[in-house]
């Protein structure tokens, strides 16, 4: 009788909420840094995602207001706000996906690496809490410098004994979003049809868009056009930082990109086949321990790290040129995690 009661109440709960099923089980998403420039629109977009049943919004300040606001939207996800260290554990408990846009953004004249001193410590503390409270969650790292914060997270998880390389992702989706937009504009093809892989890392020349593999293919682009598109993609973040003139970096396009990537992670977890996105992950694609490339997502996170495919001579040169900087950014993160 008690099992009948249990299944009836489960059915009632599902029909009230109206979406959970065996194909789409309940999923909790936590956003750390949810009251920030990225965090707020990302919270909005994740509230709109039908795959999310519980949305946990954490920040050091401001989350009660953001959570109250977003929670009034008539979509299924139940929203809760959490503020300050004391509430971090509860915010994380039971999370399937944790998205981290916490930390300071660039101002004009700064590199992403200039954010290291502040953001490395923030990421380290948040990842220590993830290891404790939701060690099986997929972690989507947005905080810069991504080329170093992902290795920091890996080292924190290794130290805690919870590291699973399939579950840690540096979010490089904004590079792909930009490459698609700029390519479509120049090639004169519908932007919604465009696909462009972007590999390497997420800073300056470490961002390597592979326009030779862009689809739909275009024969109207000269080598000069390709080089200009590559530079614009690499400098896309700086273009926004300069346009915002001291008021931060990309927030709205980043929230969109973060929502696209988190949605792909959720679909992978739910067993949707053929979910492929570029991401900065532990990798053997090159000699570097972390590298962004196309990744197939599945029920355990990374199902397969895909290779680079055929590169043009220009892209081969770009790949060799980026390795030194990417290697030292990775090493800087590892060293920080060990030293503190
Ligand atoms: P922001 O300053 O507007 O927001 C950051 C938020 O983080 C703030 O609300 C702040 O209170 C919060 N925060 C600070 N310390 C925290 C902690 N210990 N725990 C939880 N929250 C904390 O900055 P933003 O514009 O949202 O950018 C956030 C980060 O994302 C920056 O590091 C930025 O460089 C990075 N970023 C990455 C990409 C990418 O493509 N990966 C794109 C854009 C921005
Ligand atoms: C971006 O690419 O927009 C982000 O990494 C933010 C930045 O500092 O450029």
| Span 228-237, pLDDT tens digits | 999 999 999 9
Task: Give dist(CA 61, CA 59) in Å, integer.
Answer: 5
Nearest CA to ligand 2 atom 1: 237
Contacts of 230 (CB under 8 A, 6+ apart): 208, 209, 211, 314, 318
Rounded average pLDDT over 210-215: 98
Task: Give dist(CA 175, CA 64) in Å, integer.
Answer: 32
Nearest CA to ligand 1 atom 4: 36
The alpha carbon of 39 and the centre of ligand 2 are apart by a number of angstroms equal to: 14
| Residue among 31, 32, 36, 260 to mutate when testing ligand 1 (max atoms within 8 A of CB) | 36
151: left (phi over 0), alpha (psi -120 to 50) or beta: alpha
**Global pTM value:** 0.95
pLDDT at 21: 57
Cα–Cα distances in angstroms (integers) from residue 57 to residues 28, 97, 147, in the given order: 11, 12, 25
Task: Give dist(CA 135, CA 167) in Å, integer.
Answer: 10
pLDDT at 336: 98
Nearest CA to ligand 1 atom 30: 143
Q: For residue 299, report the phi and psi dihedrals to the nearest 5 degrees.
A: -70, -20
Cα–Cα distances in angstroms (integers) from residue 19 to residues 23, 52, 197, 264, in the given order: 10, 10, 33, 18
pLDDT at 24: 83
pLDDT tens digits, 70-115: 999 999 999 999 999 999 999 999 999 999 999 999 999 999 999 9
The alpha carbon of 234 and the centre of ligand 1 are apart by a number of angstroms equal to: 20
Catalytic residues: 202
pLDDT of 10 strictly over 70:
no
Pick the ligand that lies closest to the CA of residue 242: 2
pLDDT at 14: 45
Q: Count CB atoms within 10 A of the CB of residue 290.
A: 26
| Residue among 38, 67, 126, 179 to mutate when testing ligand 1 (max atoms within 8 A of CB) | 38
pLDDT tens digits, 254-302: 999 999 999 999 999 999 999 999 999 999 999 999 999 999 999 999 9
Report the chain's mean pLDDT, rounded to a whole number: 94
The alpha carbon of 243 and the centre of ligand 2 are apart by a number of angstroms equal to: 12
Task: Give dist(CA 173, CA 190) in Å, integer.
Answer: 19
ipTM metric: 0.99
Comparing CA positions, the residue from 310, 286, 284, 307 lying closest to residue 296 is 307
Task: Name 140's bridge partners.
Answer: 99, 169
Pick the ligand that lies closest to the CA of residue 33: 1
Task: Give dist(CA 88, CA 155) in Å, integer.
Answer: 20
Contacts of 243 (CB under 8 A, 6+ apart): none
pLDDT at 340: 55
Pair 200, 311: CB distance under 8 Å: no
pLDDT at 15: 40
């Amino acid at each position: 009788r008690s099992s009948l009661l249990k299944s009836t109440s489960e059915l009632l709960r599902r029909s009230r909420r109206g979406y959970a099923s065996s194909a789409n089980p309940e999923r909790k998403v936590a956003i750390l840094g949810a009251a920030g420039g990225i965090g707020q629109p990302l919270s909005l977009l994740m509230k709109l995602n039908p795959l999310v049943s519980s949305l946990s919004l954490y920040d050091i300040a401001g989350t009660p207001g953001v959570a109250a606001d977003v929670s009034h939207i008539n979509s299924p996800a139940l929203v809760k706000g959490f503020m300050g260290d004391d509430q971090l554990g509860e915010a994380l408990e039971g999370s399937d996906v944790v998205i981290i846009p916490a930390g300071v953004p660039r101002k004009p004249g700064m590199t992403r690496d200039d954010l290291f001193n502040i953001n490395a410590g923030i990421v380290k503390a948040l990842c220590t809490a993830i290891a404790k409270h939701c060690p099986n969650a997929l972690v989507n790292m947005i905080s810069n410098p991504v080329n170093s914060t992902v290795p920091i997270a890996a080292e924190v998880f290794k130290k805690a004994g919870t590291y699973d390389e399939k579950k840690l992702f540096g979010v490089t989706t904004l590079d792909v979003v930009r490459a698609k937009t700029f390519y479509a504009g120049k090639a004169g093809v519908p932007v919604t049809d465009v696909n462009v892989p972007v590999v390497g890392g997420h800073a300056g020349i470490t961002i390597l868009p592979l326009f030779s593999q862009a689809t739909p293919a275009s024969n109207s682009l000269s080598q000069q056009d390709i080089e200009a598109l590559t530079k614009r993609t690499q400098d896309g973040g700086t273009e926004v930082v300069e346009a915002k003139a001291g008021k931060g970096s990309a927030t709205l396009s980043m929230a969109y990109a973060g929502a696209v990537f988190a949605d792909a992670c959720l679909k992978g977890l739910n067993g949707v086949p053929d979910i492929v996105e570029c991401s900065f992950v532990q990798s053997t694609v090159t000699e570097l321990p972390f590298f962004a490339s196309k990744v197939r997502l599945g029920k355990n996170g990374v199902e397969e790290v895909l290779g680079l495919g055929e590169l043009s001579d220009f892209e081969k040169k770009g790949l060799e040129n980026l390795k030194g900087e990417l290697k030292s950014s990775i090493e800087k993160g590892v060293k920080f995690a060990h030293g503190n």
